[in-house]
Structure 1
Amino acid sequence: MIKLTDLLPVPEPGLTKVKFNMRAGGGGGEAWDLLLDDHEEWLNMSRWRTRQTNNNMADARYLLAFAQYYPYGPQYFIFGGFYDVQPKVPEMLNAYGYEVTPLPQHSEYVKRLIIKLNEPIGRNVYLRRYESVQEQLRPEVYELARDTKLGTFPGYQNVKLRHHELQRIIANDEPSWKDALSSVKGVYVITDLTSGRLYVGSASGEANGLWQRWSAYANLSNLTGGNRELEHLRAERGDSFLVENFQYTILEIFDPKTRPEVILLRESFWKQALDTRAHGMNRN
């Protein structure tokens, strides 16, 4: 067993706290989703300062932040970074009362290191002192992924992939993703996150369904799948624009035995429903 404190030493243990984030307040979403997307709310979870002193950093100068890794279960947390923490002056309570700055130490483990606690924790024990966390919660290293963790396949209705994530899934032949996407045909939508414009497409005749269709997009030599509007955008803005700003989502799935013409009719329906011919990136 490798202990958390063995893998993640800190310069001043007595001035360091460990935070186990689960959900953002006010319906802000799961901590892991916020960390994965580098969402500002991820840092806000550590910036918040309350009137209850036991929920604050107190005299801590440093912070090791984790996010509950819900694909594995309530006892698992993924590393979110090592931070310098400074209280704002004048003091601000029930507000963003801390300046939280990422530090380079242990950055190679961010979104890769998963630890397992002895048992699930409640919200009243999510913030612990580094010096006592090993004895209290017995965190141990569970996994160190070779790349950013994406988790197991979340269900067809929850797929929301940025292009760099799609590339990683295809390149690594992620088993749960490959099994799920290979077993269905479907209609999908690509979103240009800079403009909100949509492109509706389908995997109607591919032997390996959505996996085969999306594998083509993941290939840097075929980012557009031959679509004329996407080719125009690629020529105008470059490959990096598509990689950085395209997002892939599933609209509808079908049994692999479904006739291609049935799926193409549904593709046409979604183009009409989302008006992607007039205001999106579909040309036909």
Structure 2
Amino acid sequence: MPILFQDIWPIENLGEYKIHFARWNQHSQPLEVFARDRREWQEWQEYRPGRDDFNRPLIFSLMQFYHEQDTWLFGGVYRVLARHADRYEVELSDIRANMIGRLKLFYPYRDRTTRPVMERHHAAFEVHEILSEPYSGRNFPGFDDADLSFEELETLIRNERLDWRAAMENIKGVYLITDIHTGRRYVGSAYADLGIWSRWRQYIETGHGGNAELTRLVRDEGVGYCREHFRFALLEQRTARTPDDIVIARETFWKRVLLTRGEGRVANAVEIPCRRAPGI
């Protein structure tokens, strides 16, 4: 038998609440926004479209837990302080603050309306899980499944996720960056005294990681372009004791296999030139 949300959190004043079903806005996943920057997450509650959707005193904010179907993560109850023509003023209340980022609800919500009234949905929410700690990025899935969007990786780096850092910090290896907008692919490596974690951190901090072509891209399009379109995948990992020339040879192998050098190039698989230095 499922545990209903109303069984653990009965709300008597349902008429004071609007729900915010925060979903991907074509640029960012709200789950990653919440995990990397709580102030930025509050701005999602302060955004006002043309109509006055948050026309009640309280906002019950949920974000789509997009790794799991029909699952929502509780993002806090916000109090609406003022309604301006172009934005709301809100503050995070202390209502069930201990559940923020921990309470996961199951609800197959398909409606396009993102800010409905609470009384139409409260009774249908099921408790999916209560995390032991607030969400700070998805769990390390193993080296074979290390495939992340820029946003996901940024969340992990900013929160210093221990499971990811412990696994990736002291390994050398070869990785793939894919621009899903253009189809461009870049094979790189981490070696010498630079592990995968530190190498990927450079990309999160700058967007380009020191690569000349990516530097121009970031200059023209901004880091937001990288956050929206880049994916990182670990192609293979090696221990810290592996000689650098072996890692470099494996990088060359993957460039040949993935046709990123130009020989026999396929559509949308284009080499991004780079300078030769440790980790490039």
Query: TM bucket by the smaller chain?
Result: 0.5 to 0.7
Per the normalisation by structure 2, the TM-score is 0.57
What percentage of residue pairs aligned between the two structures are identical? 18
Asked if structure 1 preserves the Cα contact closer than 8 Å seen for 2:174 and 2:237, the reply is no
Residue 121 of structure 1 pairs with residue 110 of structure 2: yes
Matches within 5 A, 1:1-284: 1-10=2-11, 12-24=13-25, 27-38=26-37, 40-53=39-52, 56-58=53-55, 60-73=56-69, 75-88=70-83, 91-92=84-85, 95-96=86-87, 98-117=88-107, 119-124=108-113, 126-135=114-123, 138-149=124-135, 150-152=137-139, 153=141, 155-158=146-149, 160=153, 161-162=156-157, 164-167=159-162, 186-187=173-174, 202=190, 253-254=235-236, 261-264=245-248, 266=251
Offset at 1:145?
A: 1.1
CA distance in 2 between partners of 1:57 and 1:254 (Å): 48
- Unaligned runs of 5+ residues in structure 2 are 176-187, 198-230, 253-272
Output the CA distance in 2 between the equivalents of 1:11 and 1:165.
39
TM-superposed deviation, 1:105: 1.9
Structure 1 residues 97-131: Cα deviation after superposition (integer angstroms, max 9, x where no partner) = x11111122121111111001x232322x323223
CA 1:201–1:106: 2 relative to 1, 3 Å: farther
Query: In the alignment, residue 121 of structure 1 is paired with which amino acid?
Result: R
Q: What is the identity, as a one-letter code, of the residue corresponding to 1:63?
A: I
Residues of 1 paired with 2:33 and 2:235: CA distance? Answer: 27
Whether the 8 Å contact between 1:17 and 1:129 is mirrored in structure 2 is yes
Displacement of 1:185:
5.7
- What per-residue deviation string (whole Å, max 9, x for no partner) do you get for residues 39-94 of structure 1? 544223222223335xx022x11111000000012x11011111111233xx40xx
- 2:183 — aligned with what? none
CA distance, structure 2, for counterparts of residue 14 and residue 40 of structure 1? 27
Q: Secondary structure at the match of 2:116?
A: strand
2:128 is paired with a residue whose SS is: strand
**Secondary structure of 2:44's partner?**
helix
Q: Distance in 1 between matches of 2:77 and 2:10?
A: 10
Unaligned 5+ residue runs, structure 1? 172-177, 189-199, 205-209, 215-248, 268-272
Q: 3-state DSSP class of the match of 2:122?
A: helix
The 1:169/1:144 distance shift into structure 2, 3 A limit, reads farther
Deviation per CA, 1:192-219, whole angstroms, max 9, x where unpaired?
A: xxxxxxxx98379xxxxx8xx86xxxxx
Question: 2: distance between equivalents of 1:203 and 1:8?
Answer: 51
Q: CA deviation at 1:254?
A: 2.0
Q: 1:259 to 1:168 in 2, by over 3 A?
A: closer
Q: Which amino acid in structure 2 is aligned with residue 120 of structure 1?
A: Y
Deviation per CA, 1:216-240: give whole Å up to 9, x if none: xxxxxxxxxxxxxxxxxxxxxxxxx
Distance 2:130 2:276 in 1: 42
Q: 1:44 to 1:28 in 2, by over 3 A?
A: farther
The amino acid that maps onto 1:17 is K
